[in-house]
Structure 1
Amino acid sequence: MTFPDSHRSTGQWIGGAWIPGQRQAASLNPMDGSAIGTFADGGRDEADAAIAAASTAFERTEWAQSPRLRQTVLLDWARKLEAQAEDLARLLTLENGKVLVQSRGEIAGAISEIRYYGGLARHIPGHVLEVEPGVFSTMLREPAGVAALIIPWNAPAVLLARAIGPALACGCTAVVKPAAQTTLLTTAFLRALSEVPGLPPGVCNMVSETGHAASARLVESPLVDVLSFTGSTATGKRIMATAAETMKKLSLELGGKSCCVVFPDADIAATASRIAAAATIISGQQCTAARRVLVHGSVYDAMKEQLRAALAAIAVGDGMNPAMGMGPLIDTAARAQVQGQVERAFDLCDEVVLRGGVPDSLPAAGAFLTPSLVAHGDTAAFFCQEEIFGPFLVLERFEDEAEAVAKANHTVFGLSASVWTTDGARALRIARALRNGTVWINDHNRLFAEAETGGYRQSGLGRLHGYDAFADFTELKHICQNAGRVA
């Protein structure tokens, strides 16, 4: 497969220039461990340079005060990405492992997101009140300043777009820190932005690394005004503790343990098939992926058999092969961690319904793991409570609505859930009772640029996607003026 050289070797993007970097690291294909290309391996010094460039651009260019410029740049960027969409999707599958149909959907979704925020760039209104005769209070939303965006590897295109879209649209400048596993894809995305005429140098920067020194510097730097992070709850807590010193704004989407609540009137076979797909999206490496399936006792046995069959039928292999339903995990280290958690769950659960594992028929250097399903009654079990970031599902039973809600809400997380029923009133009743930022009805994993997403409790702070994402990257200013009255 042929890609432009810029997709195979990357540098740091700082102050408008692409800098090769003194050290290089390899990006590996999780399908077989082969090298795809190389990327610059930076650290604290590169982060400081990028932060300084972003700070200068915020203070000395027209970016923060020119919504028309921001709209033009974002829309031009989207057009450039669209022209490269197929190459980007294939690069994403090579670097991340997800099946190509998912990569194509992600690239399209990311481009849609950038267009959405480009459209909103010229409409971030405030309001004016006459609080007393002749006294006016004007409320303005202003860009917060320098935004640091730490982007994960599981959906690197759309998760970049949903953070950088509102950040740039409202007038912030940015420093992007991609995940080491998907730096080539992030670089390809941002290189298209760097080629847009009119983008002031330093408005957007990128620092890549294999370690954590650059990320740590972004969190602790007093010149960074907003920190947006998507990842684990444990890492999010460490970021909060460090960021407290500078009191920067935080936008955090963290872990999840999504429940699917299935009632007797649902089409069990069709529901099982869709839940299996929701559990194995990105090989189960999505924070909103289905993790727990709560089923009414009257259809519990039927769902167990249908869900086992649906998971077992998913073809696992090379994501470039259109016959595959699931690719490898992101790397062998992640596969080993997930496999260890799953094996421990097998030992402790009430019933192993489908025993997944490492397939013998696929490359030994790949990070493949087939889906697993267990049944269990105690919601306090570690595998019902902890996020296992892979293709693993827990089946649980309930007898009435109150028990279903109590079990589903027995978690420290609150990112997403789904309700499966043909009874419209019941669907709304249960959705309102579930403590989650997103609840789907007869669906799962449906995310849109226009609809805010984020979590309750330990699933994070703030919202991305939608208009409310601007709140994460802006400050609200009150300007009071006593204009007096005409005599």
Structure 2
Amino acid sequence: MEQIITPHWIDGAAVHTIAAGSIDPATSAVVGRFAAGGVPEAQACVAAARRAFEASDWPLAPRLRQRVMLDWAAALRPRVDALAELLTRENGKPLAASRGEVLGSISEIEYYAGLTRHIPGHVLEPEPGVLSTMTREPAGVAAVIVPWNAPGILLVRGLCPALAAGCTTVVKPAHQTALFNAALLDPLLRHPQIPPGVVNVFAETGHDGAKLLATHAEVDVICFTGSTAVGKEIMRAAADTMKKLSLELGGKSCAIVLPDADIDAVAQKLAAGVTIIAGQQCTAVRRVLAHADCFDAMKAALAKALDALAIGNGLDDGIAMGPLIDIPSRDRIAAQIAKACEQADEVVLRGTIPDRPGAFLTPTLVHHQDTHAFFMQEEIFGPFVSIERFEDEAEAVQRANHTTFGLSASVWTNDGAAGLRLARALRNGTVWINEHNKLFPEAETGGFRQSGIGRLHGYDALADFTELKHIYQAPGVVARG
């Protein structure tokens, strides 16, 4: 695939600049090359999006918006296998996971296409003959900054509600997965009915263009998925222009295991939750809280399940976990894990860097009871998990909620009432019962506290890309009697 060269897409046309290489994290081979830009390209994208919002029919034409998105989804279906392979080559995740992500992305596009023609307002009559009409209108130009860990789903869950609402857009993909995002977007960008400037795309190897989006007065919405630290930078940068923000940020997801759970079966699912995208997902399992009656069994079963995972090139059969995104990231995460192992009460399973090419790192499991430790509070974005003991439900909730994050959690039990009690008490935007990492286009996701602002997926995502307008009129009433 070394022949792949992807351009920027600005105002309905391909724009070429000096190209940078995209690297396979499993082999360090060059997958292809993408046009690398920065501030000039970002400025051109914003200007094109603003022109399209002000001058085209896109914000006013829900049937057109629906047709374009349905056609985009249909055009992607014959390309699922090729897109999945490209995603694995750029990102490293197992091929089955990549295929699932591509299919999930298509499903999400179809979901928002379905909503496009039903974005209702409402009318009140607060006084006789006085009508207050509330309309939900597109917010304007939306910038969608896409990370590399799930670049299909995390692109469409921001771009599609923006398009459904009638916004025009600027997409800034992560450079690590710029080729995949370009291939996923290609049928949309080249759709014969989409007005020029509705969707603009630029890539960069740095961050200058993305920073411009956060401060630009002509950008009305920023949709960002990434770390809490960067989310805070975006909030500060966006303050002067008072942009709408849709931010899904870091997490420190807990899994609470009650003693009636099937420990061996739960261990298998938690191991998958720990190592999803090599632990590089904000909803990955970071902490396991096991009741004292099952703590020893849970610790042993989880260590066994993690140790048994097949780790290797995501294109190979039977691989459960691929490499991290690149070698510098792998080395940084390995250093954090080593520091955590020095401070933990017990190192149950120590991860290693395998003697092979690529950005591989095996999983680590530690036992620690002090929730104040840095590795119990900070998100370590790799295959690392801690396990701790609790005595009762109140202690489990206290431990789980001792965090600045609040993105997701899970509860594992055969007692339905206990599962619901704990789910209600946890301060998280999503709580799964007897599952982890189950996400759907129809179900809103987002974080409490420092895990974010707003919601993506589901109907409520439209709120992040619309403004509510009150129109007053007083036509009066026909004389009575």
TM-score by length of 1: 0.98
| Letter aligned with residue 108 of structure 1 | L
SS at match of 1:281: helix
Give the Å deviation of 1:140.
0.5
Give the Å deviation of 1:83.
1.6
* C-alpha separation in 1, matches of 2:386 and 2:232: 26
* C-alpha separation in 1, matches of 2:41 and 2:269: 44
Q: Percent identity?
A: 62
Give the Å deviation of 1:131.
1.2
SS at match of 1:175: strand
Aligned partner of 2:371 in structure 1 is 379
1:472 pairs with 2:427:
no
1:73 pairs with 2:68:
yes
Query: What aligned pairs does 1:178-217 form with structure 2 within 5 A after superposition?
Result: 178-217=173-212
Give the Å deviation of 1:197.
2.2
Deviations along 1:338-376, one digit per CA (max 9) or x if unpaired, are: 10000001100000000111012x32xx10000110000
Match of 1:20 among 8, 16, 21: 16
SS at match of 1:245: helix
* C-alpha separation in 2, matches of 1:279 and 1:316: 13
Give the Å deviation of 1:461.
0.1
| Letter aligned with residue 35 of structure 1 | V
Give the Å deviation of 1:380.
0.5
Aligned partner of 1:420 in structure 2 is 412
Give the Å deviation of 1:109.
0.4
Match of 1:123 among 115, 118, 122: 118
Give the Å deviation of 1:121.
0.2
Deviations along 1:95-136, one digit per CA (max 9) or x if unpaired, are: 000000100000000000000000000000000111111110
* C-alpha separation in 2, matches of 1:357 and 1:250: 39
1:410 pairs with 2:402:
yes
Deviations along 1:379-410, one digit per CA (max 9) or x if unpaired, are: 11111100000000100000000000000000
Deviations along 1:19-58, one digit per CA (max 9) or x if unpaired, are: 111x111000000111011111101111000000000000
Match of 2:330 among 327, 335, 338: 335
1:284 pairs with 2:279:
yes
* C-alpha separation in 2, matches of 1:73 and 1:442: 38
* C-alpha separation in 2, matches of 1:81 and 1:243: 34
Query: What aligned pairs does 1:268-417 form with structure 2 within 5 A after superposition?
Result: 268-360=263-355, 362-363=356-357, 366-417=358-409
* C-alpha separation in 1, matches of 2:206 and 2:407: 28
Give the Å deviation of 1:82.
1.1
TM-score by length of 2: 0.99
Aligned partner of 1:9 in structure 2 is 5
**Runs of 5+ in structure 2 lacking a partner?**
none
* C-alpha separation in 1, matches of 2:131 and 2:19: 57
Give the Å deviation of 1:93.
0.1
* C-alpha separation in 1, matches of 2:78 and 2:143: 27
Give the Å deviation of 1:195.
2.0
| Letter aligned with residue 249 of structure 1 | K
Match of 2:231 among 214, 233, 236: 236
Give the Å deviation of 1:477.
0.2
Deviations along 1:152-202, one digit per CA (max 9) or x if unpaired, are: 000000000100010000100000000010000111111121122210000
* C-alpha separation in 1, matches of 2:78 and 2:132: 46
Aligned partner of 2:251 in structure 1 is 256
Computed over aligned residues only, the root mean square deviation of the Cα atoms, in angstroms, reads: 0.8
Query: Segments of 4+ in structure 1 off by > 2 A?
Result: none
1:437 pairs with 2:429:
yes
Match of 2:441 among 438, 449, 469: 449
SS at match of 1:315: coil
* C-alpha separation in 2, matches of 1:72 and 1:279: 39
Match of 2:105 among 86, 89, 110: 110
Q: How many aligned positions are there?
A: 479
Give the Å deviation of 1:322.
1.7
SS at match of 2:324: coil
* C-alpha separation in 1, matches of 2:93 and 2:411: 26
